Amino acid sequence: MNKPKDHLSPLSSCCRLERVKLLEYEAKQLLADAGVLVPVSSLVQTSEALSLPLPVVLKSQVPIGGRGKLGGVQIIEQVAELADAVEALLVLDIKGYLPTVLLAEEKLLIQHEHYLALRIDRIEGVVQLMAHPKGGVEIETHTSGFFTRTFEPDQVEAIASQLALSWGYEETLPATLLQYLLTDLYDCFVANDATLLEINPLIYTTEGTFIAGDCKMELDDNAAFRHDWQFEAKSTETNFVTLDLAGTIATIANGAGLAMATVDAVADSGLVPANFLDIGGGSDIKSLLLAFERLMGFTHLQGIIINIVAGISRCDEIARAIIAAQAHIPTLPPLYIRLAGTNYEEAMELLTDAGIATLPTLEDCIIEAQEAHHL
């Protein structure tokens, strides 16, 4: 399976933006569907005969960059090399990922390698084009030469000719080809609700065509309702993050900002937070119980801080889940509970009847947890 060993969510890139990261072959299928040229290819899962003529480039399909430097891309010149290469690549771990499939592609005749990407500029709320004349794995080290524009579809002709010039093409044909390419890429970006579409390298072949050498694409999970997505790589979980398996204090909060703030406050006090958990708004008792059970996987826990400030969620729902957890999980460590906001009174009544104490603030929860810790 395509699972990372060390499961950390991309919390720092954005808490609420859930993205579907496509594998190269999935992204290239979307490119091809939009009319963008991609290498002739076939998928390989066993070392049986290839349908492509040699030489081919054999590429591990993992949802992470940097595979080339780790041996995840092999050029196969001879039939005799194929079986061993396939076998080796299928078991080659790339930063915690194993491929379920390899992509075999024709070896292109390269004249130039460029960098081209469409992304979303969050501040301006627009699609942005980013390009560099020299693509490849060292792209991040370039400090100058980037071509960045807000991508306006009705100005694609002007953008393409500026881009062609910035890449050193003085003839009209490459500019025209880039215009078609940019139009197709933008259509692909919008039609698929993409948040990132990066072609690196974009290869200009000796025959004078632009072909997508590699492609990384992320789709907006919030738009899944209007697509029939059947991709291998699923969106990463962002509401539960393991911070430290040896952590002593687990945290539960509602809302990503409050959940991060709860973790920060625990860590600032000198206690070791085990996890980040955002139960969101409107969680039901069943999903909350599952969250409690999951926390039992941390074997060093000395307490759980529950910090709920309810706006759209309701404190009484949380209270019911806490009562159920107390009843169902005999090994539950001490709970330091702070509830505030919507339906607070109902929640307090339920908890008081069940003999469960609460604390007025997050600070009080941390102080009590610290005192228990030092006993």
Partner 1 sequence: MNLELFQAQNVIIQGITGMHGSFQARAMVEAGTHIVAGTSPSKAGSLVDEIPVYNTVADIQADFSVDASVIFVPAPMAMDAILEAVDAHIPLIICITEGIPLHDMIEVRRILATSESILIGPNSPGILVPDELKLGIIPAHLSLAGSVAIVSRSGTLTYETMAGLSERGIGQRYVIGIGGDPIHGTSFIDCLELFEHDPHVSSIVLIGEVGGTEELLAADYIAGSITKPVYGYVAGHHAPAGVQLGHAGAILGSQNESAAAKTGALKKAGVKTATSITSLLSLIAADHSF
Positions in 51-80 near partner 1 (CB under 8 A): 63-65
Instruction: Count other C-beta atoms under 10 Å from residue 319's C-beta.
Output: 27
Q: Which of 30, 36, 117, 335 binds partner 1 (CB under 8 A)?
A: 117
Question: Which tokens sit at 41?
Answer: 């290819």
Q: Does 196 bind partner 1 (CB under 8 A)?
A: yes
Q: Of 205 and 269, which CB lies nearer to partner 1 in the complex structure?
A: 269
- Dihedrals phi, psi of 162, to nearest 5 degrees: -65, -40
Distance CA 319, CA 255 (A): 17
Which residues, 16 to 55, sit near partner 1 by CB under 8 A?
Answer: 16-17, 19, 21
Pairing of strands 110-121, 194-205: antiparallel
Q: Of 81 and 113, which CB lies nearer to partner 1 in the complex structure?
A: 113
Q: How far is the CB of 125 from partner 1 (least distance, A)?
A: 3
Choices 51-59, 80-88, 192-200, 322-330; region in contact with partner 1 by CB under 8 A: 192-200
Window 312-341: contact mask with partner 1 (x via CB under 8 A): x---------------------------xx
Window 278-307: contact mask with partner 1 (x via CB under 8 A): ---xx------------------------x
Q: Of 217 and 351, which CB lies nearer to partner 1 in the complex structure?
A: 217
Choices 29-37, 84-92, 99-107, 115-123; region in contact with partner 1 by CB under 8 A: 115-123
- DSSP for 129-144, written as a single string: EEEESS-STTGGG--S
Answer whether 114's CB lies under 8 Å from 135's CB. Answer: yes
Q: How far is the CB of 95 from partner 1 (least distance, A)?
A: 8
Which residues, 224 to 283, sit near partner 1 by CB under 8 A?
Answer: 225-226, 241, 243, 253-258, 260-261, 263-265, 267-269, 273, 276, 281-282
CB neighbours of 160 closer than 8 A, spacing ≥ 6?
175, 176, 178, 179, 181, 182
Q: How many residues does the chain have?
A: 375
Distance CA 357, CA 306 (A): 12
Q: Of 86 and 344, which CB lies nearer to partner 1 in the complex structure?
A: 344
Answer whether 223's CB lies under 8 Å from 120's CB. Answer: no
Angle, CA 361 vertex, CA 360 and CA 365 arms, to 5°:
100
Helix, strand and coil content of the chain, in percent to the nearest 5, comes to 35, 25, 40
Q: Which of 198, 201, 249, 320 binds partner 1 (CB under 8 A)?
A: 198
Choices 42-50, 80-88, 157-165, 196-204; region in contact with partner 1 by CB under 8 A: 196-204
Q: How far is the CB of 366 from partner 1 (least distance, A)?
A: 7
The residue to which tokens 């524009």 are assigned: 149
Q: How far is the CB of 331 from partner 1 (least distance, A)?
A: 26
Q: What three-state secondary structure class fits 73? A: strand
Answer whether 340's CB lies under 8 Å from 315's CB. Answer: yes
Q: How far is the CB of 48 from partner 1 (least distance, A)?
A: 31
Q: Which of 60, 179, 195, 283 binds partner 1 (CB under 8 A)?
A: 195
Q: Of 160 and 260, which CB lies nearer to partner 1 in the complex structure?
A: 260
Angle, CA 363 vertex, CA 360 and CA 368 arms, to 5°:
85
Q: Of 28 and 216, which CB lies nearer to partner 1 in the complex structure?
A: 216
Distance CA 180, CA 36 (A): 9
Which residues, 134 to 173, sit near partner 1 by CB under 8 A?
Answer: 139-140, 142, 146
Q: What three-state secondary structure class fits 315? A: helix
Q: How far is the CB of 351 from partner 1 (least distance, A)?
A: 18
